[in-house]
Amino acid sequence: MKRMNIILALSFLFSINLVHGQDNPEKSKFEVIAFGGLGFTKVKTDIQARYDLNVNTGEILFNYKIWGKYGIASGIGYSQLSGSGFNKTGPFYAERELLKIPFLFTLNQDISERLFLIGNIGPYAQTITKDRLEYIGFGESDVYEGWNFGVQLGVGFGFKIDQKVGIGINYNGQSDLSKLDTNAGKSFADKQRHKNLNSIGLFF
């Protein structure tokens, strides 16, 4: 949670600094979009039982407007996952942290003088930075490892506080297309991916 708060605080500072730097008559083609939200995901495995995890996520995107309302963006995403499940070793409580690098096509469309719509779609690369399963009487760390890939979609509606600052509500959904493998020497061997990681939160 502490890492998540730091990421969201830094993203807010970056977005404010960038926006206030756009005082030229000609609008800057660069902008920062920061998002934080809560949600859930399904963990789909090859052999073990499937289970659900709660999600606390944040993302910072650096967007470049290539043509009018359309742009391209990349940045960094960080998610904390937690929840209970069951496998051949027994019932467990899972904690996981994910680091994601997205590559997105973006949309920023004014609906009225104050209201606007934002959206994005594209692939991402993702890796596990922390992974621990707590069983009754013992635990395992770094159970899964490696990079995997997937596709994400985001859409949000915002309100312009003034010409430089806006805030809104955003939905973000993503699903892995490739799988993560267990490390050697663990109590079980399997492959898994995150399916339908959905979150809703605020952007600015």
Does pLDDT of 195 surpass 80?
Answer: yes
Does pLDDT of 84 surpass 80?
Answer: yes
Question: 3-state DSSP call for residue 204?
Answer: coil
> What gap in Å lies between CA 145 and CA 59, rounded to an integer?
22
Nearest Cα residue to 181 out of 134, 139, 135, 147: 147
Residue-number span of the structural domain to which 100 is assigned: 2-191
pLDDT digits (tens, 9 = 90+) for 17-67: 344 334 444 567 888 899 999 999 999 999 999 999 999 999 999 999 999
Is 198 a domain residue?
Answer: no
> What gap in Å lies between CA 8 and CA 18, rounded to an integer?
15
Per-residue model confidence (pLDDT) at position 71: 97
User: CATH number of the domain that 154 lies in?
Assistant: 2.40.160.20
Is 203 a domain residue?
Answer: no
The two three-digit tokens of residue 166, written as one number: 């806006």
Please give the tally of structural domains in the chain.
Answer: 1
Largest CA distance in the chain: 64
> What gap in Å lies between CA 45 and CA 130, rounded to an integer?
18
3-state secondary structure labels for all residues of 92-106? EEEEEEEEEEEEEEE
| Cross-strand pairs, 15 | none
> What gap in Å lies between CA 3 and CA 83, rounded to an integer?
19
Instruction: Answer yes or no: are the C-beta atoms of 201 and 37 closer than 8 Å.
Output: yes
Is 204 a domain residue?
Answer: no
Per-residue model confidence (pLDDT) at position 18: 40
pLDDT digits (tens, 9 = 90+) for 138-167: 999 999 999 999 999 999 999 988 777 789
Question: 3-state DSSP call for residue 196?
Answer: strand
Per-residue model confidence (pLDDT) at position 15: 42
State the DSSP code for 28. P
Per-residue model confidence (pLDDT) at position 162: 79
Is 179 a domain residue?
Answer: yes
Is 41 a domain residue?
Answer: yes
Mean pLDDT to the nearest integer, 192-201: 96
Question: Residue 121's Cα: distance from chain center in Å?
Answer: 13
Half-sphere exposure of 74 (CA within 13 A, CB side): 5
Is 14 a domain residue?
Answer: yes
Per-residue model confidence (pLDDT) at position 204: 79
Is 200 a domain residue?
Answer: no
Is 12 a domain residue?
Answer: yes
